[in-house]
Structure 1
Amino acid sequence: MGQKFHAFMFPWFAFGHMTPYLHLANKLAERGHMVTFLLPKKAQKQLENHNLFPHNIVFHPLTIPLVDGLPPGAETASDIPMSLVQFLSTAMDMTRDQVEAAVRALRPDLILFDLAQWVPEMAKEHRVKSMMYNVVSATCIAHDIVPGGEIGVPPPGYPSSKVVYREYDAHALLTLSITYKRFCYRLNTCLTNCDFIAIRTCEQVEGTFCDYIERQYQKKVLMTGPMLPEIEKSKPLKDKWSQWLNGFGQGSIVFCALGSQITLEKDQFQELCLGIELTGLPFLIAVKPPKGEKTIQEALPEGFEGRVKGRGVVWGEWVQQPLILAHPSVGCFVSHCGFGSMWESLLSDCQIVLLPYLNDQVLNTRLLTEELEVSVEVQREATGWFSKENLSGAIMSLMDKDIEIGNHVRRNHTKLKEVLVSPGLLTGYTDKFVDTLENIVTDTTV
């Protein structure tokens, strides 16, 4: 057991970043280390329940400054559309004085961060070691590490001809173009100036991409594994869902969830509902109400509720995704392929259908679909939108036992899952990572 240390954590202000940071904090606290977790004030309430060691993990709330263009009260990426993300980045940068004051007062040994490019410089001034801990995929990082590069074009030496953007990814690339150069500058600055690089991944899924990043920055890339919490037996699936899911046969239900950042246009939302209805299978769709609508019900296609009564539910609020995926009746997961959902899908027994929207989700999708061949992607129109026929066809290509692509994907997914859940593999990554941190903080040569 190494020497006890005190780590600061300062993730990007999005729950998809803060949550895996907190899972890692729990692993550090379990070994007796102290963590000061810097986050927006309002986010603390939503994360408190995931703090398993409140004596060792102390939340340090930050006041989010007023920024022109950022709606009043917005503190995390969930509070804003993607088009306003640069204003949240500005607000995060403006918390530097608060972060520095905390560093000065509490003297941590190490600060883990992801997108605040000024952290390494500040850390050096206070003789604190800095680690860029990335909770997005190594695939995405490797693709976007050239600041000012051409949008959607991989850098020289990029290790895959399959994990790339296609012409029909214009919808993602348009979003990407708004903040692309700024993002690449931040990413490159962080990777160049930090003392250490870590990524929430493992060799078996993204080893070649981690090797590429190591060569680019001449720094060892440490891997933590997917850093997912164990499905808590103390918090079972809510009765509402367990009773409904129990009413269907094994592996028969299609579960669709698109994450907290995606809000569909109304016609796209309706196409999603109609496409899943077309399969004839029982289904649960959990997505936010579409743009311009307050509730899911008022946005549903005409006559939809009557047609799917008894076999389909559309839900506009949060659900216990890992527990639903683990239910034996769920056989297919339609996902946006955000990095957390990507890992949850790989560790499930479900067939995987991918419908990416944002740039990193597109690259994650290509990793699973074309590199690893464990999923299928919904075909897009030239406009970047999908049709109900293409969505239904993608689902049935995996759910129909007579179609070979489904059997091929299932075999590959089963093999990969067996590797990932083999005894000690993922906990081994975490243990090795914590051991490395213990050595890092005591190494006076760094």
Structure 2
Amino acid sequence: MATTNSGSMHFVIVPWLAFGDILPFAELARRIVLQGHRVTLLSVPRNTRRLIDIPPDLEGLFCVADVPLPRVERLPEGAEATIDLPSDDLRPCLRRARLSDILQGPEASRPDWVLIDYAAYWAPAAAASHGVPCAFVSMFSAAALGFFGSPRALMGLGENPRNKPEHFTSVPDYVPFPTTVAYRGYEMRAMFKPGMVPDDSEVSEGYRIAKSIEDSKLVGVRSSREFEPEWLQLVGELYQKPVIPLGLFPPPPTQGIGHEAELEWLDGHAPRSVVYVAFGSEVKLASAQLQVIALGLEASDMPFLWAYRAPADSGTGDGDGGLPEGFEERVRGRGLVCRGWVPQVRFLAHGSVGGFLTNAGLNSITEGLARGIRLVLLPLLFDQGLNARHLVEKKIAVEVARDEEDGSFTAENVAVALRRVMVEGEGEEFGAEVRDLAEVLGSDEVNDQCVRDFLRCLSDYSRQQQG
């Protein structure tokens, strides 16, 4: 083991090859290093260049190890993250490209722990063969984990197997408190096959999650006891192993030059009056959906800044297409459409931004709530529907109304949801709740204490094994 007399530890971190996983894992790594430990984050060269910028003062403790991505049939050349895939149908190809041999090297360089997310279900066995324990670090909320159930249930085994679509559209019997956290029928129909049925990578997403949890010694959850105490307790009971909240560790706003025109535009608006619009790096919206969203923004009569990505069915990647004819001219001065990469956290931290229309991914939720931004949620895939139900029942967000059969939504649905949180009376209630929560979720002191508690649990486990 690499533990020194000072009590410092060495961690290897293996995130899934998606921006929404790599970025929070890199932020967690930074916070671990600030506690005096060493971290080696495994990634692939293109993602390292695009995403990870190690502060000069942390270079001695924070290391990125580039691992070449194995060639896999049907995986496009240069595709090293989910954002590079032209279709979600190719996600299994990326999952087959394992970053194997993660613990090569001399015994002296072996880590004390390997931290993984759901995709690297093979890593606990690989680490155990070198005598190194694994901890599962969940980028899902405790509410989503609790809803999914025990690892055996996700594998279709045990008392509450989750192996049919109808098992996911109602609150499970084992949840001992009232909640609305469950999938809607149209959400489950869209995700059951890719989520719960083995794909071309030979296993399902549900199996990956279950196996990663089952074979790990401890579980860290990107959450806090102030945010979802009842769900954290339930997850601990379901897993029958330590479950420790890590905090939500929101990233700090990016600094430096760039996007001055957008920031100047924001400067010209009243405090908390602008809606920021973005749907994350995983969502591939179609032209028809983008057109409805655009018309909803137009009908809302509110100022907005939209981090716009070209529609999945446009055939181009240049950011053109997908908007109604004449849209940008009609909203000129009130709305700003930004194409390409934008500094999302920096925009959300601007004083004129008061609302966030988002897909309810946990990264975006964290970045919005940490800065006291009111949320309008349009969940589109994965765990986002569960996140949306959870936040709505906490009265800190509004969900865009949808057709219960097919999940479609109208421009008026979008506009009504935006007006509810931004200009109507209940918006003040949402704002007060979110501001109170931001004092906890956005606090470095609170988040760093969660990280310290997690590290202490890992250290205690290592000492018990050595003793």
TM (norm. structure 2) is 0.87
Cα deviation for residue 354 of structure 1 reads: 0.5
Residue range with higher mean Cα deviation, 46-55 or 11-20 = 46-55
Residue range with higher mean Cα deviation, 62-71 or 132-141 = 62-71
Kindly provide the amino acid, as one letter, of the partner of residue 201 in structure 1.
S
- Name the counterpart of 1:412: 433
Choose which of 170, 180, 185 in structure 1 pairs with 2:196.
180
Cα 1:255/1:421, change in 2 over 3 Å: closer
- Name the counterpart of 1:144: 148
Choose which of 121, 129, 137 in structure 1 pairs with 2:125.
121
SS in 2 for 1:432: helix
- Name the counterpart of 2:182: 164
RMSD: 2.3
SS in 1 for 2:134: strand
CA distance in 2, matches of 1:444, 1:208: 30
Cα 1:135/1:36, change in 2 over 3 Å: same
Structure 1: runs of 5 or more not aligned: none
CA distance in 1, matches of 2:172, 2:446: 32
Choose which of 330, 335, 340 in structure 1 pairs with 2:363.
340
SS in 2 for 1:243: helix
Question: How does 1:22-61 map onto structure 2 within 5 Å?
Answer: 22-51=26-55, 53-61=58-66
CA distance in 1, matches of 2:40, 2:274: 42
SS in 2 for 1:55: coil
CA distance in 2, matches of 1:175, 1:239: 40
Cα 1:408/1:334, change in 2 over 3 Å: same
Choose which of 186, 189, 193 in structure 1 pairs with 2:211.
189
Kindly provide the amino acid, as one letter, of the partner of residue 46 in structure 2.
K
- Name the counterpart of 2:349: 326
Question: How does 1:390-429 map onto structure 2 within 5 Å?
Answer: 390-401=413-424, 403=425, 405-421=426-442, 424-429=445-450
Cα 1:172/1:247, change in 2 over 3 Å: farther
- Name the counterpart of 1:242: 263
Choose which of 63, 72, 78 in structure 2 pairs with 1:67.
72
Question: How does 1:250-261 map onto structure 2 within 5 Å?
Answer: 250-261=271-282
CA distance in 1, matches of 2:250, 2:210: 27
Cα 1:261/1:423, change in 2 over 3 Å: closer
CA distance in 2, matches of 1:242, 1:230: 17
Does residue 198 (structure 1) correspond to residue 220 (structure 2)? The answer is yes
CA distance in 1, matches of 2:92, 2:108: 30
Kindly provide the amino acid, as one letter, of the partner of residue 50 in structure 2.
Q
CA distance in 2, matches of 1:102, 1:111: 15
Cα 1:265/1:347, change in 2 over 3 Å: same
Q: Is the 8 A contact 2:15 2:117 kept in 1?
A: yes
Kindly provide the amino acid, as one letter, of the partner of residue 323 in structure 1.
R
Q: Is the 8 A contact 1:120 1:195 kept in 2?
A: no
Cα deviation for residue 100 of structure 1 reads: 4.2
CA distance in 1, matches of 2:55, 2:82: 21
- Name the counterpart of 2:309: 288
Q: Is the 8 A contact 1:296 1:315 kept in 2?
A: no
Kindly provide the amino acid, as one letter, of the partner of residue 62 in structure 2.
I
Cα 1:61/1:328, change in 2 over 3 Å: same
Question: How does 1:291-310 map onto structure 2 within 5 Å?
Answer: 291-293=312-314, 294=316, 295-310=318-333
Q: Is the 8 A contact 1:82 1:175 kept in 2?
A: no
Residue range with higher mean Cα deviation, 416-425 or 303-312 = 416-425
CA distance in 1, matches of 2:291, 2:339: 13
CA distance in 2, matches of 1:191, 1:330: 38
Cα 1:155/1:302, change in 2 over 3 Å: same
Cα 1:171/1:218, change in 2 over 3 Å: closer
Structure 2: runs of 5 or more not aligned: 157-161, 198-203
Does residue 82 (structure 1) correspond to residue 99 (structure 2)? The answer is no
- Name the counterpart of 2:296: 275
- Name the counterpart of 1:213: 235
Cα 1:267/1:335, change in 2 over 3 Å: same
CA distance in 1, matches of 2:409, 2:54: 36
Q: Is the 8 A contact 1:3 1:442 kept in 2?
A: no
SS in 1 for 2:92: helix
- Name the counterpart of 1:20: 24
Cα deviation for residue 422 of structure 1 reads: 6.2
CA distance in 2, matches of 1:261, 1:201: 21
- Name the counterpart of 2:339: 316
SS in 1 for 2:237: helix
Question: Which structure shows the higher helix fraction?
Answer: 1
Cα 1:418/1:237, change in 2 over 3 Å: farther
Kindly provide the amino acid, as one letter, of the partner of residue 161 in structure 1.
T
Q: Percent identity?
A: 30
Kindly provide the amino acid, as one letter, of the partner of residue 185 in structure 1.
Y
Question: How does 1:354-433 map onto structure 2 within 5 Å?
Answer: 354-370=377-393, 372-381=394-403, 382-401=405-424, 403=425, 405-421=426-442, 424-433=445-454
Cα deviation for residue 273 of structure 1 reads: 0.8
Kindly provide the amino acid, as one letter, of the partner of residue 418 in structure 1.
E
Cα 1:103/1:208, change in 2 over 3 Å: farther
Cα deviation for residue 445 of structure 1 reads: 4.9
CA distance in 2, matches of 1:338, 1:156: 26
CA distance in 1, matches of 2:281, 2:249: 19
Q: Is the 8 A contact 1:296 1:314 kept in 2?
A: no
